[in-house]
Amino acid sequence: MEIGGMKADVLAKQYGTPLAVYDENRLRDRLREFTEYFRSGSFETTVIYASKAFNCKEMIRLISDYGCSLDVVSGGELYTAVSAGYDCAKVFFHGNNKTPAEIRMALEAGVGTIVIDNPMEAAELVKQIHGTDHKVNVFLRVNPGIEAHTHKYIVTAHVDSKFGFSLVDKEEIFETVKMLKAEENIDVEGLHAHIGSQIFEDKAYEELIRKMFAFAHELKNIAEIRSVNLGGGFAAYYTAADKRISVRSICRTILETCEEENEEIDGQIKRILIEPGRSIVAEAGYNLYTVGWIKKTPNRLYAFVDGGMSDNIRPALYQAKYDAVIAGKEYLPTIHTYTIAGKCCESGDILIDSIDLPEVKTGDILVMKTTGAYGYSMASHYNKQALPAVVFVRDGEAREVIERETYEHMISLEK
Ligand SMILES: Cc1ncc(COP(=O)(O)O)c(C=O)c1O
């Protein structure tokens, strides 16, 4: 089992476990694919990396090398971008409850775009920016009533989402746009929507584009909406139950549909934006664990590992499925069905419910695949588990991009 040209067990020995490892060339390949294929002769195009999937300084430097813009949703994510030397003019600040302090921080850092989520937030932005030297572009996050998650999408009026302005209440949107437009330091540039995650169906995006373009046109008399941000949600390959989606084909579908819809509204839209997170980082990431005790119960054979829901909450949070191998045993025949359980004090701390593997022994290195998105970024200190180290590996060379947390680090803020 090699990652970026290095053996998994060598990485485990060198850096310890649990360990998050990224194959840097795979990250770069994905960034190259998105930036190459999301281009059009008809529109200006922008790829925004949704950093919630994995936000750290080195990742931000990497996306910057490919000319990507950056989505942040908190003061902390923004602070990391500033610390990485990222050009804040290319930052898109999202979130349903940006605090007044975060809005101030964004304006002072020179954030280029704020995505407005609700009328109260719009009023706060107007209050803060009025009479200052700050300028900001604004997108309005709308909730188009399309919900798309793994393998299916549903067109229903999901009117109760905590995110964005529901298209059911257009009057509220009109009033908010008018309020924002009246402020000379604000440029109301576009509309934004994000309809879900792990989306395999191109059709969901086609439906989204139709709704967004039609609504941009409807707003024409109030504001010159010239940009549409279609959010992220492109699926990653986790297990054999998933189909692999092609970045090239999804980009083509999106851009062609945008071209068609733009004809309907006399070429009003000039810029299209997408916000992939998971699809850039998930498949490049691997979590390495050392196997501890093996335990047999009447109906299960457990292999316990030295991490768990504290470094990857996704299986416990939403029954996410993963594939794994035992380093050095990937070509041996599978002989048992194991449950891979973490070491946290929750019965739900199961990383993989059922997986066929060769004989697993204490001390083996278990390599979980496709862990690069929403793993480290959702990690917690539950049970005072220290956060793992994160390593990027490229052409046979590894470098630590986040150190392993020590117990001293962990309690350093405690009085
Ligand atoms: C506004 C917004 N944009 C982009 C994303 C990225 O989604 P994904 O990682 O599924 O591509 C998210 C994820 O929650 C989001 O909320």
Output the CATH code of domain 285-410: 2.40.37.10
Catalytic residue positions, numbered = 345
For the chain, the domains span 38-279, 285-410
Q: Ligand 1 centre and the CA of 129: distance in Å?
A: 27
Question: Which of 189-203, 369-383, 387-401 has the lowest average pLDDT?
Answer: 189-203
Question: Amino acid identity of 119?
Answer: P
pTM, two decimals, is 0.97
pLDDT band of 192, cuts 50, 70, 90? very high
| Percent share of the chain, pLDDT over 70 | 98
Q: Whose CA is nearest to atom 1 of ligand 1?
A: 194
Q: Whose CA is nearest to atom 4 of ligand 1?
A: 232
Q: What does the block give as tokens for 153? A: 């999408």
Q: Is 372 in the pocket of ligand 1 (CB under 6 A)?
A: no
Confidence check: pLDDT of 191 > 50: yes
Atom of ligand 1 minimally distant from the CA of 232: 11
Q: What does the block give as tokens for 398? A: 């590894």
Q: Do the Cβ atoms of 343 and 309 come closer than 8 Å?
A: no
pLDDT band of 157, cuts 50, 70, 90? very low
Residue 187, H or E segment: strand 186-192
pLDDT, residue 158, reads 66
**Angle, CA 272 vertex, CA 266 and CA 277 arms, to 5°:** 160
C-alpha 188/C-alpha 136 separation (Å) is 9
DSSP state of 196: B
pLDDT band of 152, cuts 50, 70, 90? low
Residue-wise pLDDT for 286-324, tens only, equals 999 999 999 999 999 999 999 999 999 999 998 999 999
Confidence check: pLDDT of 253 > 90: yes
Q: Which of 46, 142, 197 to mutate to test the pocket of ligand 1 (most atoms within 8 A of CB)?
A: 197
Q: Is 93 in the pocket of ligand 1 (CB under 6 A)?
A: no
Which is nearest to 117 in space by CA: 134, 133, 103? Answer: 103
pLDDT band of 338, cuts 50, 70, 90? very high
Q: Do the Cβ atoms of 391 and 378 come closer than 8 Å?
A: no
Output the CATH code of domain 38-279: 3.20.20.10
Atom of ligand 1 minimally distant from the CA of 277: 9
DSSP, collapsed to helix, strand or coil, labels residue 229 as strand
Per this entry, what is the length of the chain? 415
Q: Do the Cβ atoms of 243 and 285 come closer than 8 Å?
A: no
C-alpha 249/C-alpha 356 separation (Å) is 33
C-alpha 51/C-alpha 63 separation (Å) is 10
DSSP state of 193: -
